[in-house]
């Protein structure tokens, strides 16, 4: 890796070490850290945006998870004409009642949750209508997860749903919330890999993404993992990005 670029990353400022950084392919830098403090990850995303201004051909892909916390975006998905989504808006004035830290952030979407048993993908990517549009990027992020999970005998997953997300019939497996500045994306997808009973209990009085908490599920609840781990899933997932986003 270019030593000057490594210096520009300012890793210690964000709780990162050189071991957290690798090259996914010749133009994509991978930052990987599980159970990464949300504040540090969010600050790093903002820093990555400035790096892409200086290195427009660079892509920075973050693969991580966070300690238990909640984030709230700019607002819930808006219904199309004649559509009723029956979503319940979260009142940020009630944030002090939440059992885990709360962050008001700039992505799209409403209240969502994070915990160490998720795989989160934050693509810091310059959009281009010819090579990687926003819709194709979102579809890719869901499709790569579907491909890996199909190989693990978890079938009938889809992101062709009136509500944005990755779904197993009427159960939601992954959420998506994107922000864009100067045609560069940040924030991204959170996929529930392991079940988290403490978070699930906290969600019983909330409406993540405007939905009843019972709608949410995890890979662990949908299929027998047979000893497979989050680390293994993330490696297989990243391998698909490595070859597709050159």
Secondary structure E strands in 40-183: 59-64, 69-75, 102-104, 109-114, 118-124, 157-158, 166-168, 171-181
Percentage of the chain beyond pLDDT 70 is: 96
pLDDT in the model for residue 82: 62
pLDDT in the model for residue 246: 83
What band does 100 get if pLDDT is binned at 50, 70 and 90?
A: very high
Q: What is the pLDDT of residues 176-216, one digit of tens each?
A: 999 999 999 999 999 999 999 999 998 887 877 777 888 99
pLDDT in the model for residue 91: 81
| C-beta atoms surrounding 129 within 10 Å | 10
- Determine, yes or no, domain membership for 84: no
pTM for the predicted model, two decimal places: 0.94
Q: What is the pLDDT of residues 102-122, one digit of tens each?
A: 999 999 888 999 999 999 999
Q: What is the pLDDT of residues 56-98, one digit of tens each?
A: 899 999 999 999 999 999 987 677 766 666 677 888 888 888 9
| C-beta atoms surrounding 19 within 10 Å | 9
**What DSSP state is assigned to residue 105?**
-
Q: What is the pLDDT of residues 13-61, one digit of tens each?
A: 999 999 999 999 999 999 999 999 999 999 999 999 999 999 989 999 9
The single residue listed with the structure tokens 């990005």 is 241
CA angle at residue 174 from 110 to 216, to 5 degrees? 80
Q: Is the pLDDT of residue 129 over 90?
A: no
Instruction: Please give the structure tokens belonging to residue 241.
Output: 């990005």
Q: How far apart are CA 78 and CA 76, in angstroms?
A: 6
**Which residue did the predictor score with more confidence, 111 or 144?**
144
Q: How far apart are CA 3 and CA 190, in angstroms?
A: 31
Q: How many domains does the chain have?
A: 1
| C-beta atoms surrounding 154 within 10 Å | 18
- Determine, yes or no, domain membership for 79: no
Residues with a catalytic annotation lie at 209
Instruction: For residue 69, give its domain range.
Output: 3-73+89-244
Q: How far apart are CA 80 and CA 189, in angstroms?
A: 22
Q: Is the pLDDT of residue 99 over 90?
A: yes
Q: At 126, which CATH number? A: 3.30.930.10
- Determine, yes or no, domain membership for 32: yes
**Which residue did the predictor score with more confidence, 76 or 237?**
237
CA angle at residue 165 from 163 to 171, to 5 degrees? 85
- Determine, yes or no, domain membership for 54: yes
Handedness of CA 217, 223, 228, 231 (dihedral sign): negative
Number of H helices, E strands in the chain: 6, 11
């Amino acid at each position: 890796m270019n030593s000057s670029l490594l210096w520009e990353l300012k890793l210690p400022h964000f709780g990162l070490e050189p071991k957290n950084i690798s090259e996914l392919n010749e133009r994509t830098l991978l930052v990987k850290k599980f159970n990464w403090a949300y504040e540090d990850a969010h600050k790093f995303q903002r820093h990555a945006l400035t790096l892409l201004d200086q290195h427009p051909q660079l892509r920075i892909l973050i693969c991580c998870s966070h300690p238990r916390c909640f984030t709230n975006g700019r607002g819930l998905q808006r219904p199309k004409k004649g559509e009723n989504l029956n979503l319940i808006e979260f009142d940020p004035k009630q944030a002090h009642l939440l059992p885990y830290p709360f962050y008001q952030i700039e992505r799209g979407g409403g209240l969502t949750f994070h915990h160490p048993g998720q795989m989160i993908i934050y693509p810091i990517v310059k959009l281009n209508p010819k090579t990687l549009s926003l819709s194709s990027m979102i579809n890719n992020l869901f499709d790569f997860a579907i491909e890996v999970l199909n190989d693990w005998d978890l079938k009938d997953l889809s992101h062709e749903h009136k509500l944005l997300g990755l779904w197993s019939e009427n159960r939601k497996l992954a959420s998506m919330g994107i922000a864009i500045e100067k045609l560069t994306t940040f924030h991204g997808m959170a996929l529930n890999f392991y079940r988290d009973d403490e978070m699930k209990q906290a969600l019983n009085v909330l409406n993540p993404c405007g939905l009843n908490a019972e709608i949410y599920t995890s890979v662990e609840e949908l299929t027998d993992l047979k000893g497979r781990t989050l680390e293994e899933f993330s490696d297989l997932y990243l391998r698909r990005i490595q070859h597709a986003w050159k």
